[in-house]
Amino acid sequence: MSDTQVRPQDGPITIPRRLDPEDAQLALQRLQAILKRQEVVEALARRQYEADERSNLLEGMLHRQHESEIRDIVNDLHPSDIAFILESLPEHERQAVWQLVDSEHDADVLLEVDDWARESLIKSMDLQDLVAATGTMDTDELADLVPDLPPDVVAEVQKGLTDEERAQLIEAMGYPEDTVGAIMDFEMVRVREDVSLEVVLRYLRRLQELPDHTDQIFVVDRQDRLRGTLALSRLLVSEPEMEVSQVMDTDYLTLNPLDSDADAAGAFERYDLVSAPVIDDQGRLIGRVTIAEVVDVIQEDSQEQALSRAGLQEEDIFAPTLNALRNRAPWLLVNLFTASTAAFVASRFEGTVSHIVVLAFLMSIVAGIGGNSGNQTMTLVIRALAVGRVNSSNIWQLVKRELMITLLVGVCGSIVAAVFAWYISDSWSIAVVMMAAMIGNMLIGAAVGVLIPLIRDRVGKDPAMGSSVLLTFFTDSLGFFIFLGLATVFLL
C-alpha cells in the first residue's frame, strides 16, 4: 500500500476482544479432541462400509457436527492464534482445519505462520482463494509471500495494483533477505515543513486510521528528501499556529535499505525506537521499519541460533521422516565422527586405563567440564557477534579475557574435582593429574569457544551452525588426550 490516503470516516466502532496466549493452547486441546473423535467415527464408518444407509447418514451428521465445532473454535481466535494451532497439527489435520477457517482470516494467517507451514497451506488453496487472500495485502506483506506463491497468482494480483504499488512491490522483492529493505513497509504519513500544525492536525483527522505503530510523522521536501521527524506527542502539545519546521526534530536515526535487519534490531533496542525512516542514497524517504518487524527479526534470529547450534534448520515438526532425516543426518554424522575420534584417542591409552581403572570414571568429568566451559564462552561470543560488539580491533582482547576468566574458574573448580578424585582413588597423584587436566581442557574449551564462531563469521558462515558439535569434538578428544597422557607420564 502507498502512503496513507484521505478516506472518509465510516464503519461501526468495535470493542477489541481480550487476547490471551492461553486461549490458543486451550483451543488447540479442544480441536485435537474433536479431531480424535472424528478419526474414531471415520474408522467405524470404514468398518461398516457395507452397513445400512442409516449408519452412513449418522457418520455424515457427526462429521458435519465436528466441522461446525471446529469452525466455532478457530474463527473466534486472533489470526496469530490460528497460525499457532495450524503449526501445532500434523499436515493432514492442518489441511482439514485450514479448510474451515473463514476466508476473511486467510491473509492474516498466511502472514503469521512460519514458512514451512505456509507452503503446505498455499498448496491446498485454489487460484481464486489465493488471489482473494493476497489481493487485500499491503505491498510489503505481499513481497514476503511472493516466493511461496504460484507465478499465475502473483501475475493476477499484480493486475489489481496501481503503478505506484507495483513499483513498490518490485522494489521490495529486489532487496536481499535479512536486509532492512526486505522488512520495511511503505505505509506512512508525510507532511511538508512549511505548513502549520493546525493543517497537519486537520489532515490527520480526515484519515480513517493511522498506520500501525505510528509514533512520528515524516517531514519531507518536494523531492521526498527527509528533512526531519515530528513526534505525535510533540504535535499534540504544541501551539497549532506554529509551523512544522519550528517543532520538528532534525536529530534522528535513519536506515538504509541494504542495512542488515539485525543491525536495525540492535538500533531499535539501543535507542528504544518504535519506528525509523528508511532512506535511499539520495536521502529520499522510501519506507519505514516498525517495532513489529523488529520483534519478528529478533525472534527469528533467536530461533535460528538455537537450532543452528545443534546443526539443525527450521522444519515442520510433523514433516515426513525422509525430510527430517535430510535435515538432521549431516551434523549427526559429523558428531559420530567426532565421538569416534574421541573414543580412538582414549583407546590409545588402554594400558594406562587397565592399570589404573579409576581413570575411566574420571576422564568423563574432564571432557564434560571442558565442554560446558566452552559452551559458556561460545554463547557469549555468538551473542556479541549478533549485536556487532566484536571486531578485528578487540578480538585478541576478548580471547585473553575469556582465557583469564576460564583459568580462574578452572583453578577453583579443579580443586573441588581434585578432592573428589582423591576421595574415590585415595591417591594424591591422581588428584593432581585430575586438577591439571581439568584446567587445561577448560582453557582449550574457552579458546575453541571463541575461535569457532569468529572463524565461521569471518568466512561468511553462520557462527552458531554446528558450533556445539565442533566444540564437543575438541574438548572430548583433547580432554581425553591430556588427562590420559598426563596419567601415563606421571602415574605409571
Where do the structural domains in the chain lie, given as residue ranges? 22-174, 190-309, 321-491
- Stretch 471-480: mean pLDDT: 89
DSSP 146: G
Kindly report the pTM of this predicted structure: 0.69
Asked which of 6-10, 31-35, 184-188 is least confident by mean pLDDT, the reply is 6-10
203 pLDDT band, cuts 50/70/90, is: very high
How far, CA to CA in Å, does 276 sit from each of 156, 299, 361? 33, 19, 58
- Set of cell numbers at residue 438: 581439568
**Domain 321-491, classified CATH 1.10.357.20, yes or no:** yes
Between helices 53-74 and 21-47, what is the axis angle to 10°?
A: 170
Output the average pLDDT for the chain. Answer: 83
Reported as a single tens digit per residue, the pLDDT across 292-305 is 999 988 888 777 77
Q: Tell how many helices (H) and how many strands (E) occur in the chain.
A: 22, 5
CA pair distance 91, 464, nearest whole angstrom:
30
Q: Is the pLDDT at 200 greater than 50, yes or no?
A: yes
Asked which of 25-34, 54-63, 127-136, 318-327 is least confident by mean pLDDT, the reply is 54-63
Q: In this predicted structure, what is the pLDDT of residue 46? A: 63
- Collapsed DSSP state (helix, strand, coil) of residue 238: coil
Q: In this predicted structure, what is the pLDDT of residue 230? A: 95
- Collapsed DSSP state (helix, strand, coil) of residue 230: strand
How far, CA to CA in Å, does 10 sit from each of 4, 17, 207, 210? 16, 21, 10, 14
Percentage of the chain beyond pLDDT 90 is 30
Asked which of 278-292, 375-389, 471-485 is least confident by mean pLDDT, the reply is 375-389
CATH architecture of 22-174: Alpha Horseshoe (1.25)
486 pLDDT band, cuts 50/70/90, is: very high
CB atoms within 10 A of CB 310: 16
248 pLDDT band, cuts 50/70/90, is: very high
CA pair distance 193, 317, nearest whole angstrom:
53
DSSP 311: T
Nearest to 226 by CA among 173, 156, 284: 284
* 8 A C-beta contact, residue 9 and residue 208: yes
CATH architecture of 190-309: Roll (3.10)
Q: Mind giving me the DSSP string for 159-217?
A: HTS-HHHHHHHHHHHTSPTTBHHHH-B----EE-TTSBHHHHHHHHHTSS-PPTT--EE
Nearest to 471 by CA among 378, 363, 333: 378
